[in-house]
Amino acid sequence: MRTELPVVGEPRLGLPAPDVVDATAAAGMLADRTRAGILRMLAEGPHCVCEMAAALGERDNNVSNHLAKLRDAGLVHAVRHEANARFLYYERDEAAVAAARAALMDVLR
């Protein structure tokens, strides 16, 4: 099954430019091994920085740097552990994740 090519001999100019700003922003977040690993781990539930750094084989400050980018993008936010306030537990913002998912799916529709 092959899609049919346009029969016109002339290319169609003036086609509208697709809007992909949200998709490229979301993809930019996922395009890094560490950030993708973070988001994948947070899909299971909250994690603190040292947990994720250990699992990903990265240094704490590096993971922290990437978390800052994810935070600025609104994809995650941090919560202090009530019993052990020295641990910052990160969790995903499900609304933002859903929006990113939708933007990506729109391009790969």
Contacting residues toward DNA, per CB under 7 A: 9, 11, 28, 31-35, 48-50, 53, 58-69, 78, 84-88
Please give the Cα distance from 21 to 15 (Å, whole number).
Answer: 18
Q: Which two tokens stand for residue 99?
A: 């929006």
Alpha-carbon distance of 73 to 25, in angstroms, equals: 9
Does 12 bind its own copies (CB under 8 A)? Our answer is yes
Rounded least distance, CB 74 to its own copies, Å: 14
| Angle made by CA atoms 53, 68, 36, in degrees to the nearest 5 | 55
Query: Residue 77 in 3-state DSSP?
Result: strand
Q: What is the contact surface with its own copies in residues (CB under 8 A)?
A: 2-3, 5-7, 9, 11-18, 20-21, 23-24, 26-33, 36-37, 39-41, 43, 45-48, 50-51, 54-57, 79, 81-84, 87, 89, 91, 97, 100-101, 104-109
